[in-house]
Amino acid sequence: MRNTNRQTNTRTLADLYRALDRKHAVTITYLKPGDTEPTVRTIEVFDIRTTKNGRIEVHAMCRLRGEARKFFLDRIVSYTPHRIAFVMERDEPVTVAGHVIPFRSSAQLIAHELGRDDFPRYRRTHQPTALEAA
């Protein structure tokens, strides 16, 4: 088990990218926002992104929940990469309207990857607290 507070984010990201490339599962200890007790999840990483705020999101299939989940890198307390292969199937990528995106060529896949940040997404509205408003 590797503790993230004892290594750089670069090292953690390198291990997660290696697991993604090799299609190996990773067990993480994750601290959900607002919780004091961490949860242990085995995940299958399929994407790592950076938000507009600069936070790093790990998109993965969660074996506990059986669906795609998003984990923030700074909330991962520790992790263990495994040599066990992916076992979960992930849904096909879809458009905003819910239509499956068929990729017939590598150029289409590249265009999709470059343009995926331009798709409209639901945004959370942030209500300032009394401390932030002051």
Task: Provide the domain limits for residue 14.
Answer: 2-89
CA distance 115 to 126: 26
Task: Reduce the secondary structure of 82-110 to three states and give it as a string.
Answer: EEEECCCCCCCCECCCCCECCCCCHHHHH
**Which residues, including other chains, have CB under 8 Å from residue 43's CB and lie 6 or more apart?**
25, 26, 27, 28, 58, 60, 61, 62, 63, 69, 71
Residues 70 and 43 in one domain: yes
Q: For every one of its 134 residues, what pLDDT tens digit does the chain have, with 9 covering 90 and above?
A: 788 888 999 999 999 999 999 999 999 999 988 888 999 999 999 999 998 888 999 999 999 888 889 999 999 999 999 998 888 877 665 555 555 666 777 777 777 666 665 555 544 455 555 565 55
Residues 61 and 81 in one domain: yes
Residues 33 and 97 in one domain: no
Q: Beta-carbon neighbour count of residue 1 at 10 Å?
A: 10
Residues 77 and 102 in one domain: no
Residues 47 and 12 in one domain: yes
